[in-house]
Amino acid sequence: MDDEKSEPVDFNVDEVCRRFSSIYTGAISDVLDEMGYYNQVLPSSIQALTMDHRLAGVAMPVEGEPTENTDPEEVYVPILKMLGDLRNGDVIVSQPHDNTSAHIGELSCETAKFRGARGAVVDGGARDIDYILKRGFPVFCRYRTPADVLGRWKLISYGKEVRIGQVAIRRGDFIVGDKDGVLVIPREIIIPVLEKSEEVVSTENLVRKAVLQGAHPVDAYRKYGRF
């Protein structure tokens, strides 16, 4: 497996995940735009299995390709190795380059959750939806299908950069997903984006309060600089 192990993140993963989990992606996207990062939102076709799902965590990029191989050692074992290398706070981010298989299912989700992962984002398919929902493991994907990967798809690398839509995702980047979709925060600016996003939410609360107290929207915007 041609995977690249990264150094541990230099912040408290649980704390950062908790703080990002309380910030909606629209505010984070605005901050990224203001900082000059305009292509950080994943394609709108990638949506949560349920509107209640949201996730925040550190990216574990995964890449795969179609195959006709039916040898479990060649198809299943690479997936199991990736699951075994997950760390607390990780989010699986998969670019399968495939439109036919389910690239994540209940047992993978169960294993990932047990190892501390916070969710999965798949530019492909998922299956075992009822079981995944019962486990409470957030999954964002493009489609659902019962088709297994054996004879259809295999994992070729993990921990290496992948690209979904216009967005490059590296090991250690930060992933946030909610009802609006999923975005990627480059690892170099995770904490500045977090702090600025918290400021945006606080300011927008002031704008909301002012408008509901009768302030003209233009006046509220000019006073606080946001709307």
Mean pLDDT estimate for the chain = 92
Average pLDDT over residues 2-14: 68
Contact 190, 37 (CB under 8 A): no
Identify the residue with better confidence: 63 or 216.
63
Percent of the chain clearing pLDDT 70 (strictly above): 91
Residue 2's pLDDT is: 47
Does the pTM surpass 0.85? The reply is yes
User: In this predicted model, what pLDDT tens digit does every residue of 120-134 receive, in sequence order?
Assistant: 999 999 999 999 999
Pick the CATH number of 13-187 from 3.50.30.40, 3.40.109.10, 3.30.1490.20, 3.40.980.10: 3.50.30.40
User: In this predicted model, what pLDDT tens digit does every residue of 65-105 receive, in sequence order?
Assistant: 999 999 999 999 999 999 999 999 999 999 999 999 999 99
Average pLDDT over residues 152-159: 98
Task: Decide if pLDDT at 138 tops 80.
Answer: yes
Residue 7's pLDDT is: 54
Residue 10's pLDDT is: 78
Domain-wise residue ranges, the chain: 13-187
Task: Decide if pLDDT at 59 tops 80.
Answer: yes
User: In this predicted model, what pLDDT tens digit does every residue of 102-120 receive, in sequence order?
Assistant: 999 999 999 999 999 999 9
Which pLDDT band, with edges at 50, 70 and 90, does 206 fall under?
Answer: low
